[in-house]
Amino acid sequence: MDSILVRGGNTLSGQIPIAGAKNACLTLMPATLLSEEPLTLTNAPRLSDIKTMTMLLQSLGAEVTSMQDGKVLAMSSHDITSTRAEYDIVRKMRASILVLGPLLARFGEATVSLPGGCAIGARPVDLHLTGLEALGATLDLSDGYVHAKASGGLKGGRVKLAFASVGATENILMAATLAKGTSVIENAAREPEIVDLAKCLRAMGAQIEGDGTSEITVEGVDRLHGATHQVVTDRIELGTYMLAPAFAGGEVECLGGRIELVEAFVDKIRAAGLDVTETDRGLKVARTNGRVHAVDVTTEPFPGFPTDLQAQMMAMLCLAEGTSTLEEKIFENRFMHAPELQRMGAKIDVRGGTAKVTGVESLRGAPVMATDLRASVSLILAGLAAKGETRVNRVYHLDRGYENVERKLSALGADIERISE
């Protein structure tokens, strides 16, 4: 099993290209099921999760061709042979549930296994299901599968989400594009990935208004056509690499970055003492005045502080002057990286959904274990600042969401390598 070895102490300098968003691409790929015409995605990230979604779509009969070293995905669903998404593939990734809405909308039926994914909370799919029921679907849960039918086609309806769930908003939005009549999603998620999906669907002929706000209105159409769409920049990878100079010092320019994708995050890291400036090509970040300062962080749905940057932020605050409080309001069980950071000398007190972090002057290298995707990269970042060697084990999580971490950080001057055993 692969591990990442980091030797701390090197100052970083240079440019780092930010990939297309994993969470956006995993949503855009199932959109191909809505049309028999081709859908092409550019700026696609090269990740194991993308390969898993490719396998899932191919198992349904869709054609998916990876081109230009994986940065372009050419897809076609003109000859779908199955509307059943099997457990063996779906269990690997929670985003697999996003084939449910498109299959149901276009074919009037779908059978989808309940999904798996990393263990950072229950993340139930009930909001997806109640939303589809509001559009006229009949659902039955048995033997670990969702059996959905809409024999006369989906019908427009009003969906009020109990929580601004990104996945539920995406699933319902895709389904509503082919429903008869008008659909309204209340308390919709506002994330950039939602806006990116709506932009793609409009390019395919969908009639959508209000994306990026808490109320989205969809006027159903009879069919969608093909399109070419560029995947939005990955705001989580962007935020991750923006933090790198906080650990190692120096200055890093994140190519493709935009403030509006990570505004709440930028506010916090500026308050902590990092310099963030916009350039013609992206965002430049530097740590210029010694240690960072303590700040308090509460994760919230967009446009609040992203839960997917909480682990990385905690790692940075382990080195801050003062005591910080992090409150996790999105997912339970998302402080599993804290004990691993403690192995490196961090002072963290976790009580329920709140973690109190008292900064220390330095961390020490240690063997640590990644518990989920974002925890993986938080430990690598901590290793950049630690004295000695840090070995991050179980990095198969990492490959689900970050492409070529060791290559990108090495190009900035980090002493980092992947070890295969």
Neighbours of 177 (CB within 10 A): 29
Residue whose entry in the numeric block shows the structure tokens 């959905």: 148
Q: According to the model, what pLDDT value does residue 66 have?
A: 96
| Annotated catalytic residue within 118, 200, 254, 318 | 118
Q: Dump pLDDT digits (tens) for 279-315.
A: 999 999 999 888 999 999 999 999 999 999 999 999 9
Alpha-carbon distance values, 410 to 7, 11, 43, 417, 420 (Å): 11, 11, 22, 8, 17
Sequence-distant (6+) residues with CB within 8 A of 51 are none
| Identity of residue 157 | G
Is the pLDDT at 118 greater than 60? The verdict is no
- Identify the pLDDT of residue 116: 55
Among residues 74, 78, 65, the alpha carbon closest in space to that of 37 is found at 78
Residue 318 appears among annotated catalytic residues = no
B/e letters for 204-238, b = 16+ CB within 10 Å, e = fewer, are: bbbebeebeeeebbbebeeebebbebebbbbbbbb
Domains and CATH numbers, the chain: 3-19+233-419 (3.65.10.10), 22-230 (3.65.10.10)
- Best-predicted range by mean pLDDT (106-115, 208-217, 324-333): 208-217
Q: Which of 319, 330, 340, 313 is nearest to 397 (CA)?
A: 340
- Per-residue model confidence as pLDDT tens digits over 199-222: 999 999 999 999 999 999 999 999
- Looking at the chain, the whole-number percentage of residues with pLDDT higher than 70 is 98
* DSSP H/E element including 74: strand 72-76
